[in-house]
Amino acid sequence: MTTANQIIWDDTVLPFQLDNADVRGRVARLDGALGEILGQHSYPTAVAALVAETVLLTAMIGQTIGLRWKLSLQIRGDGPVRLIATDYYAAEKDGEPAKIRAYASFDEERLADSQGTPFESMGKGMFAVLIDQGAGMQPYQGITPLAGGSLAACAETYFAQSEQLPTKFSIAVGEASAPGEEAAWRGGAVMIQHMPKASPYAKDAPSGDDGLLAGQDLVDGDDAENWNRVSILLDTVEVTELVGPHVSPDTLLVRLFHEEEPRIFDAQPVKFGCTCGPEKVEQAMSIYSAKDIGHMTNDEGKVTADCQFCGAHYEFEPETLGKDAKR
């Protein structure tokens, strides 16, 4: 267990449990890691906000996976913002930081003409969760439509549809600055989730958008009363409480849920991290023939590759790549 004065609230995910409501959750606070992720690119504000929200979702959902696992979110749409992709690499050992990275693809001209909210700029598409447990294990994938008005709502629908778990998120992101300092991105979020049951209850008529299940469709009786009460309490959270810096996660939990007897666990540190490298490029190119590699060679006689996550640039001699590489 972690005592309140041991918690470093920036770039951490704090797990907790509400003993009186049979609810568990996470509080995420990201500043430095978020700044590094967004600092790799020059995103318009609307795109940066979507990426920041996705990173917070990834950090909170990712904290639940096993050591050395990988969790990814892939959000694809037919609007000006075409893709947001994130990867969360769980810690190698307990106490070590998890690593997270993200990038977005968008049409700058179409985005400039877009009149809707950042979420609406994604159009119609899918919200996908992918979990890789490592070599020899079958990857997991869960998909839900882009619906509900926010990425948080999409994540809630994913848990209702794929996991049969009532889940709710409250997320705030934005640029903030201290006196005399440049503005920097910060984000804060709370995730609550009803503890899983052996035989989940589900209503015959889903109440979510487009006929999809929602959290309240999965509980009844005392469970429904507890879930509704905690959901209402979460709705009272303020933006300044989510992003800080004056309210630490443990204090926030007491403010919101003091009657539910919140119990906190060890905080998970999170940092920006990319796993790209020349060996990854060589592996990806190993499926191509010498002729294919020739088509990829530039006027300077090099094959180049850029990492979309961190911007790293790699150059290779053509003969060192492909099926017939000479290394």
Express each pLDDT in 28-67 by its tens digit: 999 999 999 999 889 999 999 999 999 999 999 999 887 7
Q: What is the mean pLDDT of the chain?
A: 87
**305, 262 in Cβ contact below 8 A?**
no
pLDDT for the residue numbered 277: 87
Distance CA 320, CA 286 (A): 10
Adjacent-strand bridge partners of 99: 89, 271
Dump pLDDT digits (tens) for 87-108: 999 998 888 999 999 999 999 9
Two structure tokens written together for 115? 């009149």
pLDDT for the residue numbered 287: 85
pLDDT for the residue numbered 117: 93
Q: Is 9 left (phi over 0), alpha (psi -120 to 50) or beta?
A: alpha
Dump pLDDT digits (tens) for 120-153: 999 999 999 999 987 778 888 999 999 999 999 9
Dump pLDDT digits (tens) for 225-277: 999 999 999 999 999 999 877 888 999 999 999 999 999 999 999 999 998 88
Adjacent-strand bridge partners of 51: none
Q: What is the 3-state secondary structure (H, E, C) of the chain?
A: CCCHHHCCCCCEEEEEEECCCCEEEEEEEECHHHHHHHHCCCCCHHHHHHHHHHHHHHHHHHCCCCCCCEEEEEEEECCCEEEEEEEEECCCCCCCCEEEEEEEEECHHHHHHCCCCCCHHHCCEEEEEEEECCCCCCCEEEEEECCCCCHHHHHHHHHHHHHCCCEEEEEEEEEECCCCCCCEEEEEEEEEEECCCCCCCCCCCCCCHHHCCCHHHHCCHHHHHHHHHHHHHHCCCCHHHHHCCCCCHHHHHHHHHHHHCEEECCCEEEEECCCCCHHHHHHHHCCCCHHHHHHHCCCCCCEEEECCCCCCEEEECHHHCCCCCCC
Two structure tokens written together for 193? 């989730």
Domains for the chain: give ranges and CATH numbers: 9-272 (3.55.30.10), 278-320 (3.90.1280.10)
- Above pLDDT 90, what percent of the chain? 54
pLDDT for the residue numbered 206: 61
pLDDT band at 81 (very low <50, low <70, confident <90, very high): very high
Closest CA to 285 of 303, 312, 306, 299: 303
φ and ψ at 171, to 5 degrees?
Answer: -130, 140
pLDDT for the residue numbered 7: 41
Q: Which is higher by pLDDT, 71 or 218?
A: 71
φ and ψ at 58, to 5 degrees?
Answer: -65, -40
Q: With 60 as the cut, is the pLDDT of residue 17 above it?
A: yes
pLDDT band at 214 (very low <50, low <70, confident <90, very high): low
Distance CA 158, CA 167 (A): 9
Distance CA 315, CA 148 (A): 43
- Above pLDDT 70, what percent of the chain? 88
pLDDT for the residue numbered 5: 40
**125, 106 in Cβ contact below 8 A?**
no
Q: Which is higher by pLDDT, 77 or 278?
A: 77
Q: Which is higher by pLDDT, 252 or 196?
A: 252
Distance CA 74, CA 98 (A): 19
